[in-house]
Amino acid sequence: MLSAILDAEENVLVAVGWQDICTRFHRTNPVTCARCRESDAYIKAHLHDFNGGYLDYRCRNGLRDVAVPIIIGGEHLATFFTGQFFYDDDKPDVEYFRAQAREFGFDEADYLDALSRVQVCTREHIRGFMEYYRCLVQMMAEMGLKNLELSREVTVRTSAEKKFHDSMDYLEKIIDSVADPVFVKDREHRLLLVNTAECELAGRSREEMIGRTDYDFFPKEQVDVFWEIDEIVFKTGQGNVNEEEITNAQGDKRVIVTKKNLYSDMSGARYIVGVIRDITDLKKAEAEVRKLNAELEQRVIERTSQLVAANEQLLREIAERTRMFDELQLTQFCVDKASIGIFRVSEEGNIKVANDLACLSLGYTPEELCSMTIFDIDPTFNLERFQEHRRNLRADGSRTIETIHRRKDGSTFPVEITVNYLEYRDKGFTVSFARNISERKLAEEQLRQKKQQLEELNRTLRQRVKMEVEKNREKDIILIQQNRQAALGETLEHIVHQWKQPLNTIGLLIQFLQSNYTAGKLTDDFVRETVDKTMDLLDHMSQTANVFRDYYKPEKEKRVFGIKESVEEALSFVEPDFRHQNIAVVIDANPELAGHGYPKEFAQVLLIILTNARDAFKERRPEKPRLAIKAFAEGRRAVVTVTDNAGGIAEKAIGKLFDLYFTTKEATGGTGIGLYMAKSIIEKHMKGSLSVTNVDGGAQFRIEVGTPRQVSGQ
């Protein structure tokens, strides 16, 4: 059994004999461990109820705990604690512990196995046990107090020695009065102190035992075990409780529990203090109880098996009858609640059974309908047709027909009936399943009309589709031209910017020519050189005009074009503005990469994207504006990406960026046509794709178009 001493703060000073159910389970789970601490706190809180006996308490984990306060000098300094057991008149509820194992995730088998090893004690046993430890605790408390007093009064040596001798005499008397054998050994295992019970166990006097070892009184094989445990206590300094076997002076073998603790005196010498408890009678009693329990359980099993066999047979019969009744009720319920009308009709045409839907659809009560014949509800049936119908049913077994039913109010409705012919106990009858097909008939008529309309539509659809495609192409061309015209003003600004420097230079050349003429310094070489420079500048201006003129000519046929050339062509239009805004442009394009489509429209898409990037740089003014253009092959597609570092596109706008008339530049006159037309050109005209995503620090437009290889592969 667990024995422990806890200080005033519930810290364990020494403890032995922990039960597996606590160390392996309760103390390892945070919830059950908290319960253990609650038990410690509860004991401390209720020790004021102590009246010389001990405090008995059941912990929240289901085990019994018992405690005695250790009071020295009127102050509660510690608590002697024992527990983790059950009373024999309050045995554990196995189901409670099984549920506790499931609640806290313990292995159920291991947990119940640990439970089975928990000590079960009588209340008399615990009272005797606690009385013994209460005396021992009192003895230790008094010894501690007296030793404290001696240390404080060391200057009064004679008085201290007298009190010490008195204490030792008192201690010897207390130990001598203990019913259990008590002994003290030195490091060489020699006996220094034994009480009367220990002398009786060995059959020797105190004088004969003092200074000698256990080998002088007990069998060697038993003493070898004693000394092995002694060495463990000496080496570890930890107390030990061990169940052992010993042969007493009468030659009887007894089962004992020996508790050994290490004690060190003021000089540092170490001793073992041991207490022996004879549990032979307890072991015999436990064995006898187990034997009686086994016999009782066997008798109960035999009687119970006989009752169980009889009860099982009775329960089987009851269960079978209940099942058949439930099945019958369930079948009737399913028939009544079926989503189709069900009839059972006799050989003569009498309606015998009709479910809820059959009655509801015809407007009769079940009693009214079951008093009628099939001829009353189906005006198309007469006796002759019914007899022919029955003959066909007997041959086929099942038929599905369409007919009409007549309601109680005289109105009719179309039905589809599946009839099955059955025989039961040499009698024939039919079970009919009637489905109202009014909606189906109406749908069939509507379907017929729609089919006629669809056939008519199909005759004209191809021509209409062709006309609409041509109209859409014309609209797209118009929008492209509108977009080009909308950009014309900006393009003219580019032309003016391109011509401004050459015109200034021509003006300077003319002024220089005039000044030389006035000064009389005009020479043929100077005139020829001035004319050549002027003609070069005029040729450059003419080429600039031709570029813009060709750019706005509409294209009619797809052709192969160089991706890098288109990028450079689009970039040439905005290059002056980019240079003016100090926008760095990095091009990484495969010069061999080619696309298939409309090169001018492709360049226009690039120009729209580049213009938007220029406007974003102008609006947000990043510290180092930079534009990266990459062109590369990806499978059978040519891909161009344009990436800026202007801060990206707002999340609420990025999904609508290609919508017609959607613009983020309303304040600066944006029309919302440019990116819409760019997407239409790439995806409708060139069967490619145009998308945009936000990347780190900016936006990235991605254009994908077909390559000549892809077109030839098609």
CATH of the domain at 342: 3.30.450.20
What pLDDT is stored for residue 494 in this prediction?
53
Q: How many CA atoms lie within 13 A of 657 on its CB side?
A: 22
Neighbours of 163 (CB within 10 A): 17
Write the DSSP symbol of residue 668.
G
Residues 233 and 379 in one domain: no
Is residue 151 in some structural domain? no
Note the pLDDT of residue 358.
87
3-state secondary structure 570-581: HHHHHHHHHHHC
Residues 84 and 190 in one domain: no
Which domain CATH number covers 646? 3.30.565.10
- Can you give the residue range of the structural domain that contains 390? 337-436
Cα-to-chain-centroid distance, residue 155 = 73
At 711, the pLDDT band (50, 70, 90 cuts) reads: very low
Which pair of tokens denotes residue 476? 């797209």
User: Could you tell me if 107 and 211 lie in one domain?
Assistant: no
Q: How sure is the predictor about 584, in pLDDT bands with cuts at 50, 70 and 90?
A: very high
Question: What pLDDT is stored for residue 47 in this prediction?
Answer: 67
Mean pLDDT of 181-199: 90
Whether 137 and 186 share a structural domain: no
Position 553 scores a pLDDT of 54
Q: Are residues 262 and 205 in the same domain?
A: yes
Last residue of a domain, one of 436, 456, 491: 436
- What average pLDDT does the segment 12-24 reach? 86
Report strand pairing: 412-424 vs 398-406. Answer: antiparallel
**What pTM was estimated for this model as a whole?**
0.32
Q: Which of 24-38, 94-108, 551-565, 674-688 has the lowest mean pLDDT?
A: 551-565
pLDDT at 483 over 60: no
Please give the Cα distance from 417 to 374 (Å, whole number).
13
Final residue belonging to a domain, choices 278, 305, 325: 278
In a domain, 289, yes or no: no
Q: What is the arithmetic mean of pLDDT over 501-530?
A: 77
Q: Is residue 474 part of a domain?
A: no
pLDDT in tens, 47-94: 666 666 788 888 888 898 888 888 777 787 888 888 888 999 988 889
CA gap 326, 330 in Å, rounded: 6
- Bridge partners of 514? none
* Mean pLDDT of the region 422-444: 84
Cα 180 from Cα 134, distance rounded (Å): 14
The reply to whether 378 falls in a domain is yes
Q: For the range 415-418, what are the long-range contacts, defined as Cβ-Cβ under 8 Å and sequence gap of 24 or more?
A: 415/341, 416/440
Residue located via tokens 């009686």: 292
In a domain, 354, yes or no: yes
Q: How far is CA 139 from CA 98, 186, 240, 538, in A?
A: 42, 21, 20, 125
- 384 Cβ partners below 8 Å, 6+ apart? none
Residue of higher predicted confidence among 578 and 106: 106
What does each C-alpha distance from 553 to 38, 487, 530, 674 come to in angstroms?
93, 14, 36, 18
Measured torsion, CA atoms of residues 171, 173, 177, 182, in degrees rounded to the nearest 10: 50
Q: Say how far apart CA 176 and CA 314 lie, in whole Å.
A: 69
Q: How many CB atoms lie within 10 A of CB 682?
A: 21
Residue 676 and residue 574 share a domain: yes
At position 82, the amino acid (one-letter code) is T
What local confidence, expressed as pLDDT, does residue 326 receive?
82
Same domain, 28 and 81: yes
The whole-number pLDDT of residue 564 equals: 93
pLDDT score, position 592 = 92
pLDDT, tens digit, for every residue of 622-656?
Answer: 989 999 999 999 988 999 999 999 999 888 888 88
Could you tell me what percent of the chain has a pLDDT over 90?
A: 22
pLDDT tens digits, residue range 217-272?
Answer: 999 998 999 999 999 999 998 999 998 899 888 888 889 999 999 998 888 889 99
Domain boundary at 436, 471, 491, which? 436
Across the range 303-309, mean pLDDT stands at: 86
Q: Is the pLDDT of residue 36 over 50?
A: yes
**Do residue 194 and residue 86 come from a single domain?**
no
Alpha-helical (H) ranges within 256-355 are 280-336
568 and 692 in a single domain? The answer is yes
Average pLDDT over residues 536-551: 58
| Total Cβ atoms within 10 A of residue 574 | 22
The DSSP result for 236-274, as a single string, is H---EEEEEEEE-TTS-EEEEEEEEEEEE-TTS-EEEEE
pLDDT at 713: 47
Question: What would you report as the CA-atom Rg of the chain, rounded to the nearest whole angstrom?
Answer: 55
pLDDT band of 488, cuts 50, 70, 90:
low
pLDDT tens-place string over residues 337-376: 777 888 888 888 889 888 888 898 899 998 998 999 988 9
Do 577 and 679 belong together in one domain? yes
Structural domain count of the chain: 4
Tell whether 318 is covered by a domain.
Answer: no
Task: Output 576 or 247, whichever has higher pLDDT.
Answer: 247
Residues 374 and 385: beta-carbon distance below 8 Å: no
Q: What is the pLDDT of residue 698?
A: 93
Whether residues 195 and 102 fall in one domain: no
How far, rounded to the nearest angstrom, does the alpha carbon of residue 10 sit from its chain's CA centroid? 40
Model confidence at 482, in pLDDT bands (50, 70, 90)?
A: low
pLDDT score recorded for residue 51: 64
In a domain, 54, yes or no: yes
Greater model confidence, 678 or 336: 678
Distance CA 561, CA 600 (A): 10
Residue 485 has pLDDT above 50, yes or no: yes
Q: Are 579 and 609 in contact (CB under 8 A)?
A: no
Phi-psi label, residue 195: left if phi above 0, alpha if psi -120 to 50, beta otherwise: beta
Residue 489, pLDDT score: 55
> Do 133 and 233 fall within a single domain?
no
Q: What's the pLDDT tens digit per position in 554-567?
A: 566 788 999 999 99
Strands (E), 513-583: 559-562
Kindly state whether residue 149 falls inside one of the protein's structural domains: no
Q: Which amino acid is at 151?
A: S
Place of tokens 């809820």: 356
pLDDT on residue 712: 47
- Is pLDDT above 60 for 491? no
Residue 10 has pLDDT above 50, yes or no: yes
Q: How does pLDDT run across 133-189, given as a tens digit for each residue? A: 878 877 877 787 777 777 776 666 665 456 656 666 777 788 888 888 999 999 899
